[in-house]
Amino acid sequence: MGLSEFQLIERFFVRNARYDGSVDLGIGDDAALISVNPGQSLAVTTDTLVEGVHFFSGANPESLGHKALAVNLSDLAAMGAEPRWASLALTLPQSDPSWLSGFAQGLFELADVWAVRLIGGDTTQGPRSITVHAMGTVPKGDALLRSGARPGDVIYLTGSVGDAGLGLMTERKEAECGDDAVLRRLHRPDPRIAVGLRLRGLATACIDVSDGLAADLGHVLRLSQVGAVIDWHALPLSAAVKAYVDETGDWELPLRCGDDYELCFTVAAADVATLEARLAGLPDPCTRIGSINGSGTLDVVRDSGAMEFPLSGYEHFS
Ligand code: ADP
Ligand code: MG
């Protein structure tokens, strides 16, 4: 038996846990009320996952709950913001308690890691679609923008790239990969919040890799009006992606594929030691992959020489 709209909200999404005094009014009224301290900017972001576009029908609900929040927290990480509040607009074909229970579990497990409070949302019937709206705070003037990279800056990347792309190709039977880790990267991205927080006041530009490294670094290059050189051999690749590239010769995969939710950021060459000291205590690995120049293009250097790489990624409606 399906639940009614209000039973569903009450059973799966209302929680009394209070992490701080910032929520003046949570779920239950026409709007939530939150207090933001003066001196802080509110960072606000929204991402939607649509069945058949962002996930297959029949996808694991727990992973969807995790991912719907994770992709938003990744945007906040890329701004150097501390995640605080989220709302959830859920459209479902039917109110299936076992699906909802898994979804809520995946969502709240990640929310609890970062003390994010679900403060409201909307619930409607229709083709399955999940929209999370996340908000965080960052001291005024400290947010990490896409527009600040300067020639001479060093480019860094967290974690590894290409895994989610290989995971997606594996699910679509376009590639064979015996390593489940790539599927985990696709379905359970880990937002690099701790890194983002430590980049405040230090990184000159930052972006999260959702559309592919070339496309997302491309946004930084365009908005900063600069170019870049990347050393392909310095790219952090997992064993599975390395094996795939060796077997297929598809060396572009780590540059082309998205959904890894790593951070790509730049720092002035003079600040490299400070940066590495700040990141030293974190579990998230960071790798130096290239540098910013004035060329206006993205050039990739491999054994076989340097070549200009297209800055395109996945675009809806194209
Ligand atoms: P309204 O009709 O005023 O938009 P709703 O009846 O849609 O309000 O929602 C009632 C309350 O439940 C609101 O506080 C809303 O924010 C919250 N809510 C609705 N759906 C969700 C959801 N999926 N997750 C969390 N809160 C929700
Ligand atoms: Mg409503």
- The span from the CA of 133 to the CA of 125, in Å, is 19
Q: Which residues contact 247 (CB under 8 A, 6 or more apart)?
A: none
Ligand 1: list residues with CB < 6 Å. 9, 13, 27-30, 88, 90, 118, 120-123
- The span from the CA of 248 to the CA of 269, in Å, is 36
pLDDT number for residue 149: 98
pLDDT number for residue 1: 60
Q: Atom 2 in ligand 1: which residue has the minimum CA distance? A: 30
Candidate of 123, 133, 135 to mutate for ligand 1, largest count of ligand atoms within 8 Å of Cβ: 123
How many residues belong to the chain? 318
Encoded tokens for 51: 């069945």
Q: pLDDT (tens digit, 9 = 90+) per residue, 140-149?
A: 999 999 999 9
Q: pLDDT (tens digit, 9 = 90+) per residue, 83-94?
A: 999 999 999 999
Q: If DSSP codes are grouped into helix, strand and coil, which group holds residue 216? A: helix
CB 302 within 8 Å of CB 255 = no
DSSP secondary structure, 105-123, as one string: HHHHHHHHHTT-EEEEEEE
Helices (runs of H) and strands (runs of E) counted in the chain: 10, 13
pLDDT number for residue 176: 87
Q: Atom 8 in ligand 1: which residue has the minimum CA distance? A: 30
The residues facing 23 across adjacent strands are 34
Give me the residues of the chain with pLDDT under 50, please: none
Encoded tokens for 228: 């870049």
- The span from the CA of 83 to the CA of 115, in Å, is 8
Strands 227-231, 298-302: pairing is parallel
pLDDT number for residue 55: 94
Q: What pTM was computed for the model? A: 0.95
Distance 122 CA to ligand 2 centre (A): 5
